[in-house]
Chain A
């Protein structure tokens, strides 16, 4: 099932947030959090479909899961950076465990931040992130 159906703005407007995660339950809780909120969002469980979408439209905030079946979040972002300008986009790599030092270096090189999975599933944190456009993780 692809949850890329939650577009709530006109196609020309930059969307608030895009979340890419292969875990359906994660996308369901994110979808629940945004229900009734003004934030425009799109959710993808397939990184390839997300890549096609992101080549055309960059959101204000992009959250990518680290562990995905075909490629990890760092590989996804590296590939995305070659085809899209992420200058105006806050990029987060989502993981449920503390990344290793080598991974953190890669995340920094991509000008991304690490977002703990528990924060992605937390209503106040996620809505606050969309409202303020940033989340202080101390690793940027």
Chain B
């Protein structure tokens, strides 16, 4: 993730500090997003399990309820796939943000070492 340009009200902050602040923010933001999709997956999967149990109870009755439950199962399965794909994407985003943060910090350390007389 490439850091965005400094905003005017933060120009008083040294550029390195600004980049580090944004980098920390981005890592935490990725964690929050991953948690959000994780919660969504958890609740959707619970709903899917409940629906499946309901379907098992009505198995063989060939009622319209069965058809509705199967449709619901399909929808919930698609939702689970959606959540998993977003968890994957947010984890990839988190990974690249951590890599960027490490690069930034190591460049800062190297600069500080050079600056020490």
Q: Which residues of A contact B (CB under 8 A)?
A: 23, 25-26, 28-29, 32-33, 66-72, 74-75, 95-97, 106, 116-118, 120-123
Contacts and interface: CB of A to CB of B under 8 A. Distances in A.
Main secondary structure of the interface of B (DSSP, over half): helix
B25 A29 contact: no
Contacts of B93: 25
A29 B86 CA distance: 9
Contact of A25 (B10, B21, B28, B89): B89
A23 B89 CA distance: 12
A86 B114 CA distance: 50
B33 A25 contact: yes
A68 to B, nearest CB: 7
Interface of B: 4-5, 7-10, 21-22, 24-33, 35-37, 39-40, 43, 83, 86, 89-90, 93
Nearest to A73: B7
A69 B37 CA distance: 24
23 contacts: A25-B30, A25-B33, A25-B86, A25-B89, A25-B93, A29-B37, A29-B86, A32-B37, A66-B25, A67-B4, A67-B25, A67-B26, A71-B7, A72-B10, A95-B25, A96-B28, A96-B31, A96-B32, A118-B35, A118-B36, A121-B39, A122-B35, A122-B36
